[in-house]
Structure 1
Amino acid sequence: MGSGKKAEEEGKAMSEIMKSWRVRIFLIALLLSFFTLMIRPVQLGMDFSGGSLIQINLDRPLSSSEMQTVVNVLQSRLNNYGLKQLAVKPWGKQFVVVEITKTSDPKEINRIQALLGEQGKFETLYNGKVVLRGEDIISVITDPQKGYGAYPSGNGYTWTVPFLVSNKAAEEFAKAVEGECTPLPNSRSCKEQVYMFIDRPENAIIVMPPKLYEDEREIPDDFIDSPNKIKADDLLKNSGIDLAVADQITEELLEKIRGKNVIVPEGAYDSYFLKALNGSAANVKEIPKRSDYWLKDAINIENIVHLTPGVTSGKPITNPSITGYAATKEKAAEELSHVAILLKSGRLPVSVSIGSVSTISPILSERFISYSVLAGLAALMVVATVLLIRYRKIKIALSIAMTSFSELIILLAVAALIGWQIDLPAVAGIIAAIGTGVDHQIVITDEALRKEKEVELSLITRIKKAFSIIFMAATTTIFAMLPLLVVGMGTLKGFAITTILGMLIGVFIARPAYAEIVNRIID
Structure 2
Amino acid sequence: MKQERIKDLFSDWRVLVLIVLLVLSVIAIYPHFDSNGNLTTNLQYGLDFQQGSWIQLEFKAEVVGFTTTEPVDTFVANLSKSLDTDVVQVDANHLEIRKSYTQAELQPYFEAEDGTVVSYQPGISATTADLVKQILVDKINSMGTKDAKVNTITGLNGVTQYVRVEMAGVDMNQAQQIVGKQGKFEIRIQTTGNQTEHVLYGDSITSVAVPSQSPAGSGNWGVGFTLSSDGAATFQNAAITYGATTDPADHKLTMLLDNQSVYSAPLSQALAGSLQSEPTTQLFASTGSGTSGEQQATNLEIQLRAGALPVDVDIAGSGSTSASLGQHYMEMCLIAGILALIMVAFVIFYRYREPRIVLPMVLINASEIVILLGFISVIQFQMDLPTVAGLIAVLGTGIDQLVVITDEILHEGLVPSPNIYLKRLARALTIIVIAAATVLIAMLPLALMDLSTLKGFAIITMMGVIIGVLVTRPAYGRIIMDILSE
TM-score, normalisation: structure 1: 0.69
- Partner SS, residue 131 of structure 1: strand
Higher RCO (CA < 8 A, seq sep 6+): 1
What residue identity is the alignment partner of 1:26?
A: L
Is the contact between residue 341 and residue 395 of structure 2 (CA under 8 Å) also seen in structure 1?
no
Change (3 A) 1:25 1:172: same
What residue identity is the alignment partner of 1:68?
A: D
Is the contact between residue 57 and residue 355 of structure 1 (CA under 8 Å) also seen in structure 2?
yes
Q: Measure, in 2, the Cα distance between the counterparts of 1:33 and 1:182.
A: 62
Corresponding position: 1:521 with 2:469: no
1:370-449 counterparts in 2 under 5 A? 370-449=331-410
Q: Measure, in 1, the Cα distance between the counterparts of 2:275 and 2:165.
A: 47
1:175 matched to which residue of 2? 237
Change (3 A) 1:417 1:306: closer
Corresponding position: 1:15 with 2:7: yes
1:257-272 counterparts in 2 under 5 A? none
Is the contact between residue 193 and residue 304 of structure 1 (CA under 8 Å) also seen in structure 2?
yes
Q: Measure, in 1, the Cα distance between the counterparts of 2:132 and 2:472.
A: 40
What residue identity is the alignment partner of 2:144?
A: G
Corresponding position: 1:489 with 2:481: no
- Partner SS, residue 94 of structure 1: strand
1:378 positional shift: 1.8
Q: Measure, in 1, the Cα distance between the counterparts of 2:25 and 2:275.
A: 66
1:491 positional shift: 1.2
Change (3 A) 1:521 1:361: same
Q: Measure, in 2, the Cα distance between the counterparts of 1:178 and 1:482.
A: 59
Q: Give the percent of matched residue pairs that are identical in Structure 1 and Structure 2.
A: 31
Corresponding position: 1:122 with 2:185: yes
Q: Measure, in 2, the Cα distance between the counterparts of 1:75 and 1:498.
A: 24
1:320 positional shift: 4.2
TM-score, normalisation: structure 2: 0.74
- Partner SS, residue 303 of structure 1: strand
Give the number of the structure whose alpha-carbon radius of gyration is greater.
1
Change (3 A) 1:364 1:446: same
Unaligned 5+ segments in structure 2 are 32-40, 62-122, 155-159
1:195 positional shift: 3.6
Is the contact between residue 245 and residue 273 of structure 2 (CA under 8 Å) also seen in structure 1?
no
1:360-371 counterparts in 2 under 5 A? 360-371=321-332
Q: Measure, in 2, the Cα distance between the counterparts of 1:303 and 1:43.
A: 38
Match for residue 351 of structure 1 among 305, 312, 337 = 312
1:114-513 counterparts in 2 under 5 A? 114-119=177-182, 121-126=184-189, 130-140=198-208, 142-146=211-215, 160-181=222-243, 189=248, 191-192=250-251, 194-198=253-257, 200=258, 299-305=259-265, 310=272, 314-318=276-280, 319-322=282-285, 333-344=294-305, 347-451=308-412, 458-513=420-475
1:341 positional shift: 3.4
Change (3 A) 1:179 1:75: closer
1:277 matched to which residue of 2? none
Range moving further from structure 2, 444-453 or 396-405: 444-453
1:132 positional shift: 2.3
Is the contact between residue 56 and residue 353 of structure 1 (CA under 8 Å) also seen in structure 2?
yes
Is the contact between residue 149 and residue 160 of structure 1 (CA under 8 Å) also seen in structure 2?
no
1:386 positional shift: 1.5
1:66 matched to which residue of 2? 128
Q: Measure, in 1, the Cα distance between the counterparts of 2:244 and 2:276.
A: 15
Q: Measure, in 1, the Cα distance between the counterparts of 2:244 and 2:412.
A: 104
CA-based RMSD: 3.2
2:69 matched to which residue of 1? none
- Partner SS, residue 324 of structure 2: helix
What residue identity is the alignment partner of 1:486?
A: L
Unaligned 5+ segments in structure 1 are 1-7, 152-158, 201-298
Change (3 A) 1:194 1:393: same
Q: Measure, in 1, the Cα distance between the counterparts of 2:286 and 2:231.
A: 20
2:140 matched to which residue of 1? 78
- Partner SS, residue 409 of structure 1: helix
Q: Measure, in 2, the Cα distance between the counterparts of 1:388 and 1:167.
A: 73
Change (3 A) 1:191 1:183: farther
Corresponding position: 1:94 with 2:161: yes
Is the contact between residue 181 and residue 312 of structure 1 (CA under 8 Å) also seen in structure 2?
no
Q: Measure, in 2, the Cα distance between the counterparts of 1:183 and 1:504.
A: 66
Q: Measure, in 2, the Cα distance between the counterparts of 1:484 and 1:149.
A: 55
What residue identity is the alignment partner of 2:375?
A: V
Q: Measure, in 2, the Cα distance between the counterparts of 1:181 and 1:303.
A: 19
1:169 positional shift: 2.8
1:307 positional shift: 7.1
Q: How many residue pairs align between the two structures?
A: 400
Change (3 A) 1:147 1:317: farther
CA displacement 1:275-330 (0-9 Å, x = unmatched):
xxxxxxxxxxxxxxxxxxxxxxxx222234557994698434524444669xx987
What residue identity is the alignment partner of 1:41?
A: N
Q: Measure, in 1, the Cα distance between the counterparts of 2:137 and 2:264.
A: 30
Range moving further from structure 2, 46-55 or 430-439: 46-55
Change (3 A) 1:503 1:182: closer
Q: Which runs of 4+ in 1 moved over 6 A?
A: 147-151, 328-331, 452-457
- Partner SS, residue 182 of structure 2: coil
Is the contact between residue 183 and residue 191 of structure 1 (CA under 8 Å) also seen in structure 2?
no
Q: Measure, in 2, the Cα distance between the counterparts of 1:112 and 1:149.
A: 33
CA displacement 1:112-134 (0-9 Å, x = unmatched):
31220243543223577542233
Q: Measure, in 1, the Cα distance between the counterparts of 2:204 and 2:239.
A: 17
1:50 matched to which residue of 2? 51
Match for residue 175 of structure 2 among 102, 112, 116 = 112
